[in-house]
């Protein structure tokens, strides 16, 4: 009802849009009218009524064309001279515009919805794969839909658990990455901080600089060879180091590198005065980071962090190279059974799109609950979106030393 009221208000505010948008709707309805009827068509017995609907749409297109020509030839004084701007004409236009929408909806249901129902009914009754595109999709989903569903479930599991594990690993690594030498640190603490920071840098560089597909193969076969050298049999190794476990490890380690950089950008976007104020109150560097800086930095980075889940849903498709029964592997399996490639890859694309759209919607709701702006969907390789600019803050990433220098200059002034 709210959407209908919005449409009514939209048409009431500016009648010029009545012809613009409903003429497009009328063209769609006329196109549906020219399509062949299916066995379940409810307009088959009322041919004269359907012809009347078709010519009604064509008449509306003609009127819209006249209104457009009048607008082009009377550009400056259209409102004063056009017969379409009269009060009675506006009311009639609004009524007829809703009639155009209603007629188009009727034709859509008759041709598209009922036609699809006919295709599904025929495909389900077939003993072999039909030749038509939609019928073949319906037939294969009926025969092998459980494989696709299982693959989609495993894809979601890999993405969700991999992202959660990566988040906690990224918290650990980002602490190592942002460590700075304090005057009160002894030589051993200085060594640990330096080693931890350099380790985090090297890890981020290596992981972000190599493809996930290569990482998956290295992780899986390296783990397999290590367990094989212990004397375990192939079946015993499979019970411990399955392709699912290897895929989960791959996604977790890969996402950790990107999430670490996102977290670092969020932490460095926090006003350095927050850290200095905490230190002036007697908190140690670690306590100031844990209690003051880090909570604010995580909130800044939440939109970009949550988008990693959407990215992992798509990027998990590369794990099929090591035999993980994800959505991509399931699609290849069904293709091998029925020997129809395009149809099944279209299904896989539709499932991936649905999964990412649902994930984006849920993450948007989550971001609003935390009063942060959702970040635009970006690839894991788009470091400008995930690192260069902290989502929801509009702050570019730069070092804490640079921030401190700016703060000191401000104090001097």
DSSP H or E run through 354 = helix 341-369
Q: What share of the chain has pLDDT > 90, as a percent?
A: 39
What pTM value is reported for the model?
A: 0.74
In this prediction, residue 165 has a pLDDT band, given cuts at 50, 70 and 90, of very high
Indicate the range of 60-64, 118-122, 325-329, 398-402 predicted with least confidence: 398-402
Domain count, the chain: 2
- Spatial contact of 335 and 131, defined as CB atoms under 8 Å apart: no
- Based on the fold, state whether residues 173 and 111 are members of the same structural domain: no
Examine residue 134 and state whether it is found in any structural domain, yes or no: no
Residues 266-289: pLDDT tens digits?
A: 877 777 777 778 777 777 666 777
- Residue 49's nearest CA partner among 106, 87, 6 is 106
List of residues 6+ apart from 380 with CB closer than 8 A? 208, 254, 255, 258, 308, 311, 315, 386
- Based on the fold, state whether residues 338 and 257 are members of the same structural domain: yes
In this prediction, residue 15 has a pLDDT band, given cuts at 50, 70 and 90, of low
The more confident residue out of 198 and 74 is 198
| Boundary residue ending a domain (126, 148, 181) | 126
User: What DSSP character marks residue 186?
Assistant: -
- Based on the fold, state whether residues 90 and 212 are members of the same structural domain: no
- Based on the fold, state whether residues 146 and 122 are members of the same structural domain: no
Examine residue 132 and state whether it is found in any structural domain, yes or no: no
In this prediction, residue 30 has a pLDDT band, given cuts at 50, 70 and 90, of very high
Residues 117-160: pLDDT tens digits?
A: 988 888 888 888 888 898 999 999 999 999 999 999 999 999 99
- Based on the fold, state whether residues 185 and 107 are members of the same structural domain: no
- pLDDT score for 16: 54
Residue 331 domain boundaries: 139-412
Angle at the Cα of 354 from the Cα atoms of 353 and 355, rounded to 5 degrees: 90
Examine residue 247 and state whether it is found in any structural domain, yes or no: yes
- pLDDT score for 388: 38
- Based on the fold, state whether residues 148 and 122 are members of the same structural domain: no
- Spatial contact of 303 and 366, defined as CB atoms under 8 Å apart: no
- Spatial contact of 309 and 156, defined as CB atoms under 8 Å apart: no
In this prediction, residue 13 has a pLDDT band, given cuts at 50, 70 and 90, of very low
Examine residue 131 and state whether it is found in any structural domain, yes or no: no
List of residues 6+ apart from 295 with CB closer than 8 A? none
- pLDDT score for 372: 57
- Spatial contact of 393 and 300, defined as CB atoms under 8 Å apart: yes
- Based on the fold, state whether residues 41 and 164 are members of the same structural domain: no
CA dihedral sign of residues 174, 175, 176, 179:
positive
- Based on the fold, state whether residues 170 and 306 are members of the same structural domain: yes
Examine residue 344 and state whether it is found in any structural domain, yes or no: yes
- Based on the fold, state whether residues 361 and 326 are members of the same structural domain: yes
- pLDDT score for 385: 36
186: left (phi over 0), alpha (psi -120 to 50) or beta: beta
Between CA 249 and CA 324 the distance in angstroms is: 12
- pLDDT score for 346: 95
- Based on the fold, state whether residues 365 and 315 are members of the same structural domain: yes
| Boundary residue ending a domain (126, 154, 175) | 126
- Spatial contact of 292 and 275, defined as CB atoms under 8 Å apart: yes
- Spatial contact of 110 and 42, defined as CB atoms under 8 Å apart: yes
| Boundary residue ending a domain (73, 96, 126) | 126
Query: Phi then psi for 396, rounded to 5 degrees?
Result: -80, 150
In this prediction, residue 38 has a pLDDT band, given cuts at 50, 70 and 90, of confident
User: What average pLDDT is seen over the chain?
Assistant: 81
Q: Residue 182 belongs to a domain with what CATH number?
A: 1.10.3720.10
Task: Say how many C-beta atoms besides its own lie within 10 A of residue 275's C-beta.
Answer: 20
**Assigned token pair, 81:** 């001279």
- Based on the fold, state whether residues 254 and 355 are members of the same structural domain: yes
**Side-chain-side CA neighbours of residue 258 (13 Å):** 31
3-class SS at 269?
coil
- pLDDT score for 413: 45
179: left (phi over 0), alpha (psi -120 to 50) or beta: beta
User: What DSSP character marks residue 132?
Assistant: S
3-class SS at 251?
helix
- Based on the fold, state whether residues 383 and 257 are members of the same structural domain: yes
């Amino acid at each position: 009802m709210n959407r209908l009221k919005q449409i009514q208000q939209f048409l009431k505010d500016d009648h010029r849009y009545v012809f613009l948008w409903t003429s497009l709707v009328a063209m769609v309805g006329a196109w549906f009218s020219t399509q062949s009827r299916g066995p379940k068509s409810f307009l088959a017995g009322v041919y004269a009524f359907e012809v009347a609907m078709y010519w009604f749409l064509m008449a509306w297109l003609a009127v819209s064309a006249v209104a457009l020509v009048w607008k082009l030839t009377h550009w400056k004084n259209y409102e004063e001279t056009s017969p379409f701007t009269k009060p009675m004409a506006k009311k009639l236009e609004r009524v007829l515009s809703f009639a155009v929408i209603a007629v188009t909806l009727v034709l859509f249901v008759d041709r598209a919805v009922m036609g699809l129902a006919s295709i599904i009914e025929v495909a389900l009754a077939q003993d072999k794969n039909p030749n038509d595109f939609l019928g073949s999709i319906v037939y294969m989903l009926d025969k092998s839909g459980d494989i696709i569903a299982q693959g989609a479930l495993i894809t979601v599991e890999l993405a969700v658990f991999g992202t959660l594990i990566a988040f906690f690993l990224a918290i650990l690594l980002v602490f190592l990455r942002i460590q700075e030498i304090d005057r009160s640190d002894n030589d051993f603490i200085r060594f640990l901080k330096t080693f931890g920071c350099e380790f985090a840098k090297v890890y981020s560089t290596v992981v972000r600089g190599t493809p996930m597909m290569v990482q998956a193969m290295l992780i899986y076969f390296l783990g397999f060879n290590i367990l094989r050298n212990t004397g375990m049999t192939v079946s015993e190794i499979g019970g411990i180091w399955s392709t699912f476990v290897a895929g989960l490890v791959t996604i977790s380690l890969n996402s950790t590198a990107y999430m670490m950089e996102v977290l670092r950008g969020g932490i460095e976007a926090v006003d350095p005065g927050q850290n200095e104020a905490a230190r002036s109150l007697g908190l140690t560097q670690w306590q100031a980071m844990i209690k003051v800086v880090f909570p604010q930095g995580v909130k800044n980075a939440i939109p970009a962090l949550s988008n990693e889940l959407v990215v992992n849903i798509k990027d998990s498709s590369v794990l099929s190279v090591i035999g993980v029964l994800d959505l991509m592997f399931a699609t290849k399996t069904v293709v091998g059974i029925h020997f129809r490639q395009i149809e099944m890859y279209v299904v896989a694309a539709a499932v991936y799109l649905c999964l990412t759209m649902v994930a984006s919607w849920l993450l948007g709701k989550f971001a609003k609950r935390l009063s942060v702006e959702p970040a635009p969907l970006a690839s894991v390789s788009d470091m400008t979106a995930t690192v260069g600019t902290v989502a929801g803050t509009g702050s570019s990433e730069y070092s804490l030393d640079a921030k401190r220098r700016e703060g000191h200059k401000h104090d001097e002034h």
